Chains A and B, each alone.
Chain A
Amino acid sequence: MQLFYDLFSNVLNFTWQEVLMILTGGLLIYLAVKREMEPALLLPMGFGAILVNLPFAGTEAVEALFNAGIASELFPLLLFIGIGAMIDFGPLLSNPKMFLFGAAAQFGIFFTLAAAAAAGFSLTDAASAAIIAAADGPTSIYVANYFHSQYQGAIMVAAYSYMALVPIIQPPIIRAVTTREERRIRMDYNPAGVSKATRILFPILVTIIAGAVAPKSAELIGFLMFGNLIRECGVLDSLSQSAQHELANLITLLLGISVAFKMQAELFLTWQTLLILALGLLGFVFDTVGGVLFAKVLNLFSKKKVNPMIGAAGISAFPMASRVVHKMGLEEDSYNFLLMHAAGANVSGQIASVIAGGLLISLVEGLL
């Protein structure tokens, strides 16, 4: 009996908070496996949440991974090399008007900043919550970690969950702010040819311009564009493939489980976590509204009308947002093909969200 007690006495040390977090971890794994919601991240996060909430369990390795990869900001930067290598900026470069929609759809970030401040968060925590609306995991981690936010676990869960939920979140909002006639607007696609020199010089130029205007975004945008340069230069195919697959997979694997270090019950189970989840959703809503309304305003002044749904594709969640817009266009008119326009706006959102992150850091720091 004593032996049995010695073996299992730790089971009695479970607190209800730890049990709740283990159930939360289970829910993340369920969403990853059954619903295929960002499985590459939600599954490691879910498992990590279980691991770090076992009573008296040693979490030194997870903590070491967190310090080495996230506190140092290395993981999000390295992941950006892989993402940069995956992105084809061709649809944007051949139709550069789409740049504007990427900028407009960052409105949710700044709206959420004000909303979070109104909800009682400090300026740095408000900025950390607001960056969920970048719809861009690495940027969210980078900014939240930059401000040493204690809510990094909640921010990561919100950022990746909402990105996976873009096909559910965006359509009702788009319908609410557009008319059927607007959703049926067709757009001709006559892409201009893009030279190889343009493709190669583009990542270099973006790094210089964004880095000069928002120096805090220089590393983020630089690593993203470095990955893209490897892809486009034409002489590093092997490295490009490694960045897109091995590097991105390895970092993703470690990123999820490292972030789980911030999902310990005492850090995660607070009313602020619920508030951050709500603010993140608000950010996605206002990103979408900002993009669509900007397109509608643009239509007031242009002869060639833009389908306002394209504005909603300006958020960074790639390629989900462009697929959503394309699908909604086809639902209204089976000959309305918006995919390439939406893809252009979507990859513009990738660049704009990183710039927005850098600007947010600079502007908030200016007030501290």
Chain B
Amino acid sequence: MNMPLVLACLGIMGKGMLGIFVVILVIWALVALLGRVTR
């Protein structure tokens, strides 16, 4: 097993999940803002 590669992939896992949540949270915040502004 290529341990350095597996460890690099675990790093990608952490960054990837963090990235998705950040993007989704920003979209959520903007949708909430849009909802208030356009109500």
Contacts and interface: CB of A to CB of B under 8 A. Distances in A.
B24 A102 contact: yes
Nearest to A353: B20
Contacts, number: 112
Interface of A: 93, 96-97, 99-100, 102-103, 106-107, 109-111, 113-114, 116-118, 120, 123, 126, 192-195, 197-198, 201-202, 205-206, 209-210, 213-214, 348, 351-352, 355-356, 359-360, 363-364, 367
A99 B6 contact: no
8 contacts: A100-B28, A103-B20, A110-B17, A113-B12, A205-B27, A210-B27, A360-B16, A363-B19
B1 A118 contact: yes
A198 B31 contact: yes
A210 B38 contact: no
Contact of B9 (A96, A126, A210, A348): A126
A195 B5 contact: no
A96 B16 contact: no
Contacts of A106: 16-17, 20
B6 A352 contact: no
B13 A110 contact: yes
Contacts of B19: 213-214, 355, 359, 363
A205 B34 contact: yes
A99 B27 contact: yes
Interface string B19-38: 11111111110111011001
Contact of B13 (A111, A202, A213): A111
Interface of B: 1-2, 5-6, 8-10, 12-13, 15-17, 19-28, 30-32, 34-35, 38-39
Given A99-B31, A195-B34, A205-B31, 5 more contacts: A99-B25, A107-B17, A118-B6, A201-B38, A209-B26
Given A117-B2, A209-B26, A352-B20, A96 B12 contact: no
A360 B17 CA distance: 10
A193 B38 CA distance: 10
A103 B21 contact: yes
Contacts of A123: 5, 8-9
Contact of B30 (A117, A205, A351, A367): A205
B31 A202 contact: yes
B18 to A, nearest CB: 9
Given A93-B31, A96-B32, A117-B6, A198 B38 contact: yes
Contact of A117 (B9, B31, B39): B9
